[in-house]
Chains A and B, each alone.
Chain A
């Protein structure tokens, strides 16, 4: 019955997207797991954002200049883009190919970089690395525009290998040497940005990548044991052929979509959580010729993804927490005021979208949680999940009432609420507290209007308590 299992579908939609309302989860479960995976994997077959509508109501959405507007626009896309996996992959790459507004200082360029991830993030990895290496924001962020034939700046060359493709090491071995870093950096000399037009009087213009052959070091280089007059594309080609690269991407996909891994700097020495799972994705990486979509297909259809062991085995990132709640409760599903405040919430929870702390990105997993961010997460979640006026929550209350024409026992009431919120499984201690709380109100009646009102109030309160549990912190 896995094909039509609601809990499994909820798991898929939380991971491959930003969650969904109960109604949508059940509709997709009825449609079937395999078909839903294919829908997610083929965004071009799904309707996209209604951009004309956005332009109509929010003309400022057209290549906005301010960083806050770009963040707001992206959060709106995460909530509303029917192509959920595409949006999730944009976030995936943003959390690996980290570049931030703190240095780039152009909201427009950050927005353009995310749009590039959206467009190419599920395609061929080699093509994506070329797009990345020619993205003006990235060229500036990692100083490749300061790297010259006669004075090489190694910043981009190093991070391309260390953080963007191969990783420092695999199975305790080192993947490349310092000489490889130097050769890589030399290969990317001349990959530059065109001088910007003066911002007056028409405002800032978009940055443009420009290859300057005169500033490119065209001499022989030895990279990963191969000698030749390598340019940037040659190096990308050699990088993509490395087993280390297949492993690195597979491990990142596992960490993002399946279960929290140890932090990236520990990957050389700490074996992966599930070696066999990575092997399946690595094999597909080479079989498909570096196709990210093909790797994702293996991942979502695998037993390791569907396993109950990995459900709620990831701490929700702040973006997942905020966007997931909006989708679950059905808020900001159309353009209206208040989206700006919502789009700032991930920052209060420790994830300043479009401005990761360093090129190494955010520390994820349990490190999302500290005493300050936990208060923000719990208060935000309980405020929305307990608001029975919101369509998604109202629908959950209706479904709870529809479970039985007789009054619900406290146990049925709690079990029903947990099922509708997740389905979420909680520890026995948590269950005991929720149950004790429900017992104080007795059986939940819903025959008369007054009963219904009280039932609704109690359901809202129970949803708030569930939003406050430690279990709700996990995706």
Chain B
């Protein structure tokens, strides 16, 4: 049998809180780095070198494998002009591609609209976590938001499997689309039956799944597992999104240990995720993208680091052309962003545009609000 070409899938892991790019991709030979980080500089002999200037944080060893395979793209100096140092605002800018004004539509909400214009599949976009990130928000785009895939569904408070099934049955009939009521009531009925449809389908994902890998019990581990489960269940989902625990990367204090455990968790689970997909012959069609809303201050504050600007982002996948993209921002005080921060050198919308056009086959311009030079990190065709 000839294998049919599978639809491409984008998985996103948002690292909430502002990841310290400087201690993630470390300019380990730089004297200025050591001067700026009297407390937090990572010793040169502990850095995992990627070339003769830059290396990974010691806890990121699992990701080194993908680098060696040529499947890990690292974006340097990623950000946008006139940085915002507010978590919410900066994350909103990444979500909406609107640095100038406040936007309400997310880039992935728009992408889902293009991928599934008639909203025929209620699971084209799925978020793992409570509440919908604005990246996925767009009027008329149904996106399921799953707090816990194992227990996801409607009327989860009803005890007893039989009672709940019967209640869901009643629910299904109560929400069966009717005509002739007022428009709002009709809309709520339609939305209710969409939600039930989505929940019914999603509920089958865990039982369809078996794997030899094991994710950690952390939030990131469980949600990465849920992404793999949903993808492997073959529901036709194209955008799968999750966020690390809210503001976890906001390491103002005790950064040395906090940042290490954050990256241990992320690196291990990302490795497990890719292994999982490979085991199931599903890595070919999957691209994983990781980003954070900003980086952190160049100089440490004696215990942690404060909000900064330019940072790093990552893409991992079989079709990724591994390597560095962009230029590492200068630590030279004369060439910093105002306030002692790294100046961005690559617009995040360049990476989005590449993903949208070269991975999802969409026209990027209306989605990211403009033309941005693509970072050509994907093998085309």
Contact = CB atoms under 8 A, between A and B. Distances in A.
Contacts of A371: 122, 142-144, 191, 194-195, 198
A382 B157 contact: yes
A387 B157 CA distance: 9
Interface in B88-134: 88-89, 92, 102, 104, 122, 127, 130-132, 134
B127 to A, nearest CB: 7
B132 A465 contact: no
A372 B132 contact: yes
Interface string B142-166: 1111000000001111100001001
Interface stretch (B33-41, B170-178, B271-279): B170-178
Interface string A165-203: 000000000000000000000000000000000000000
B5 interface: no
Chain B, interface size category, equals 35 or more
Contacts of A352: 131
Nearest to B168: A468
B188 interface: yes
Nearest to B187: A366
A274 interface: no
A358 interface: yes
A378 to B, nearest CB: 6
A369 interface: yes
Interface string A214-228: 000000000000000
B253 interface: no
Contacts of B185: 427, 470
B208 to A, nearest CB: 21
A442 to B, nearest CB: 15
B155 A464 contact: yes
Nearest to B91: A102
A103 B86 contact: yes
A367 B139 CA distance: 9
A350 B158 contact: no
A348 interface: yes
B191 A370 contact: yes
A386 interface: yes
B6 interface: no
Interface in A368-403: 369-376, 378-379, 382-383, 386-387
Contacts of A367: 139
Contact of B170 (A102, A350, A465): A465
Nearest to B163: A461
A376 B192 CA distance: 11
A473 interface: yes
A372 B146 CA distance: 8
A260 to B, nearest CB: 8
Contact of B188 (A102, A369, A437, A461): A369
A430 B88 CA distance: 41
Given A101-B88, A366-B184, A461-B158, A357 B175 contact: no
Given A102-B88, A347-B130, A372-B132, 5 more contacts: A350-B131, A352-B131, A358-B104, A379-B155, A470-B188
The 4 A-B pairs at the shortest CB distance, nearest first, are namely A102-B88, A383-B157, A372-B145, A371-B195
16 contacts: A101-B88, A102-B89, A352-B131, A369-B191, A371-B191, A371-B195, A374-B188, A375-B144, A379-B156, A382-B158, A427-B185, A429-B178, A464-B155, A470-B174, A470-B185, A470-B189
